């Protein structure tokens, strides 16, 4: 398989593993006591890492709309890549084509570790959509093939984003690409019907009030006529090349599903059947999913001014969320901008009473004043008089990136709340969230697969795994994994009770 090489690739290949794990600081919750919808202010490289303990393998739909690298964009990344050359390099403003020969290398260095983390967060049935234009689409396709697997590529969706012709170039660029990959193509292929259009109920206008529901009339002529080998016969006095054999036609007629109008025959196609079939497949050409202007106009409606330059149309995001999620899916957008993705999730939930959750990450300071503010207005309703739009049910919690869990990459950071450390340790052991309901001693983290996990940690004291500690254990398990600063138990005691000692912080696995 061809792979892409660029300057700095060797430095970023495993960089996602070196990114320090930070906790997320809850700032406020809007419209509820608690909410699983999240808006995180911070660089997504760090935020995605912070999401791993709770969300690895759990995200069904990722949509991202990263900077397209047009040459106009000012970047503020240095990405904490340890190599000083890359640090300096990524920190600089990216120049236009021809001015900055390493422009594409820099963009790839920025994207690669983020895509690696996104890949980890995707569930086994999950999919990712990435908006891009010609500046980077070819490069992006190759690194996605590398990260997601060439086999998991689904489509380059062509999204018509503008209608007006620009005379500035040789051809007017009127579309964006949305790269579409699966985490595992087999799982997505197996449920491919879900990605089809939902049959439009308004097309089914007829009803015989016989309990079979609404229907529309569709032709029974065989497509392609004689050339396609359709059977030719006379039925109800009409002769033609038909879609079905004479026996099937007779059966349909006896069920009352063939209708004769003057010299033509049609079939009743019921809405219930259309729902069962899941509607028609979408093509890869999306010229009806809203335009850049629609996106901008919506921002103006919500804020009364153009507060954000490059919002995506809501229609595009609603389609993506609708086709790729189930009613309890989690949707992630780590280049959130004005928060179109959150609005789409809330709207689709309202349409089908779903419980989808969203997670947005935005690094700029407008994460609160634009991204979160838009979501608040969508929930509360916005606009006046004939432009008033009703609110939709929803809530979210707003976070800032918090402290790193480890100081100097070695010791536990004492400023991090103990609960966060316990959560992290238990997740690294079991890939499960902490079990908070416990009647055992306060150091029990939880029990999983008949193994009990203890984290004997005190901020200002050295803890010792000894007989006294053992006597406080009430949980019955086949194996005990106990973290502490020291262990003085004899080997035979450890073997008798099946205890594994893990030293703090040395044996805490790093993400």
Ligand X SMILES: C[S@@+](CC[C@H](N)C(=O)[O-])C[C@H]1O[C@@H](n2cnc3c(N)ncnc32)[C@H](O)[C@@H]1O
Residues at the contact surface with ligand X, assessed by CB under 6 A:
43-44, 65, 67, 308, 310-312, 335, 337-338, 340, 361-364
When the beta carbons of 113 and 404 are compared against ligand X, the nearer one is: 113
When the beta carbons of 258 and 370 are compared against ligand X, the nearer one is: 370
The Cα–Cα gap between 444 and 426 comes to 10
The Cα–Cα gap between 235 and 253 comes to 10
When the beta carbons of 188 and 361 are compared against ligand X, the nearer one is: 361
When the beta carbons of 154 and 375 are compared against ligand X, the nearer one is: 375
When the beta carbons of 161 and 463 are compared against ligand X, the nearer one is: 161
Q: What are the tokens at 151?
A: 């086999």
Q: What are the tokens at 268?
A: 């009743």
Q: Which of 274, 276, 316 is nearest to 294 (CA)?
A: 316
Strands (E), 307-354: 330-333
Q: What are the tokens at 509?
A: 């696995």
- The least CB distance from residue 457 to ligand X, in Å, is 32
Which residue number places its CB atom closest to ligand X? 337
Q: Are 159 and 93 in contact (CB under 8 A)?
A: no
The Cα–Cα gap between 32 and 460 comes to 36
The Cα–Cα gap between 301 and 17 comes to 42
The Cα–Cα gap between 339 and 355 comes to 18
**Within 13 Å of residue 433, how many CA atoms lie on the same side as its CB?**
7
Give, in order, the Cα–Cα distances in Å from 508 to each of 15, 416, 420, 481. Answer: 20, 15, 13, 12
When the beta carbons of 140 and 425 are compared against ligand X, the nearer one is: 140
334-367 residues labelled b (16+ CB within 10 A) or e (exposed): bbbbbbbbbbbbbbbbeeeebebbbbbbbbeebb
Q: Which helix (H) or strand (E) holds 260?
A: strand 258-261
- The least CB distance from residue 409 to ligand X, in Å, is 22
Q: Are 361 and 47 in contact (CB under 8 A)?
A: yes
- The least CB distance from residue 35 to ligand X, in Å, is 20
- The least CB distance from residue 371 to ligand X, in Å, is 8
When the beta carbons of 315 and 429 are compared against ligand X, the nearer one is: 315
The Cα–Cα gap between 193 and 276 comes to 10
- The least CB distance from residue 100 to ligand X, in Å, is 18
Q: Provide the β-strand partners of residue 269.
A: 216
When the beta carbons of 215 and 308 are compared against ligand X, the nearer one is: 308
- The least CB distance from residue 338 to ligand X, in Å, is 3
3-state SS assignment for residue 356 = coil
- The least CB distance from residue 301 to ligand X, in Å, is 14
- The least CB distance from residue 411 to ligand X, in Å, is 28
- The least CB distance from residue 298 to ligand X, in Å, is 9
When the beta carbons of 214 and 312 are compared against ligand X, the nearer one is: 312
3-state SS assignment for residue 66 = coil
């Amino acid at each position: 398989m061809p792979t892409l090489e660029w300057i700095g690739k060797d430095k970023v290949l495993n960089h996602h593993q070196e990114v320090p794990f930070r906790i997320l600081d809850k700032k406020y919750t809007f419209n509820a006591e608690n909410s699983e919808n999240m808006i995180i202010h911070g660089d997504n490289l760090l935020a995605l890492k912070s999401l791993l303990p709770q969300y690895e393998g759990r995200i069904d739909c990722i949509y991202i709309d990263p900077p397209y690298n047009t040459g106009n964009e000012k970047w503020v990344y240095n990405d904490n890549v340890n190599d000083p050359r890359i640090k300096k390099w990524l920190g600089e403003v990216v120049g236009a084509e021809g001015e900055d020969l390493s422009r594409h290398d820099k963009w790839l260095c920025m994207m690669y570790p983020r895509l690696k983390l996104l890949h980890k967060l995707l569930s086994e049935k999950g999919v990712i959509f990435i908006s891009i234009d010609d500046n980077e689409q070819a490069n992006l396709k190759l690194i996605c093939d590398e990260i997601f697997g060439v086999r998991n590529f689904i489509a380059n969706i062509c999204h018509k984003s503008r209608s007006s012709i620009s005379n500035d170039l040789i051809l007017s660029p009127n579309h964006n690409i949305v790269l579409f990959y699966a985490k595992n193509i087999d799982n997505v292929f197996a449920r491919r019907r879900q990605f089809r259009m939902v049959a439009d109920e308004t097309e089914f206008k007829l009803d015989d009030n016989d309990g079979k529901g609404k229907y529309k009339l569709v032709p029974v002529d065989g497509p392609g006529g004689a050339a396609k080998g359709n059977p030719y016969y006379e039925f109800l006095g009409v002769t033609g090349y038909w879609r079905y054999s004479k026996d099937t036609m007779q059966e349909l007629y006896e069920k009352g599903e063939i209708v004769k109008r003057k010299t033509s025959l049609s079939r009743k196609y019921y809405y219930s059947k259309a729902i069962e079939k899941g509607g028609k497949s979408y093509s890869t050409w999306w010229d009806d999913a809203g335009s850049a202007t629609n996106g901008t106009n919506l921002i103006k409606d919500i804020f009364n001014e153009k507060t954000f330059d490059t919002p995506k149309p809501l229609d595009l995001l609603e389609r993506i969320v609708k086709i790729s999620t189930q009613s309890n899916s989690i949707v992630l957008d780590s280049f959130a901008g004005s928060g179109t993705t959150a609005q789409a999730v809330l709207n689709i939930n309202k349409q089908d009473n779903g419980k989808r959750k969203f997670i947005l990450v935005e690094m700029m300071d407008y994460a609160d004043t634009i991204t979160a503010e838009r979501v608040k207005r969508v929930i509360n309703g916005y606009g006046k008089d004939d432009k008033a739009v009703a609110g939709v049910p929803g809530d979210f919690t707003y976070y800032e990136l918090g402290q790193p869990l480890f100081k100097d990459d070695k010791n536990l950071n004492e400023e991090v709340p103990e609960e966060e450390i316990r959560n992290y340790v238990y997740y690294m052991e079991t890939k499960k969230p902490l079990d908070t309901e416990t009647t055992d001693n306060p150091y029990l983290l939880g029990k999983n697969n008949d193994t009990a996990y203890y984290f004997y940690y005190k901020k200002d004291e050295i803890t010792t795994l000894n007989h006294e500690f053992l006597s406080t254990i009430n949980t019955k398990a086949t194996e005990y994994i106990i973290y502490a600063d020291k262990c003085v138990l004899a080997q035979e005691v450890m073997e008798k009770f099946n205890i594994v000692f893990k030293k703090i912080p040395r044996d805490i696995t790093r993400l």
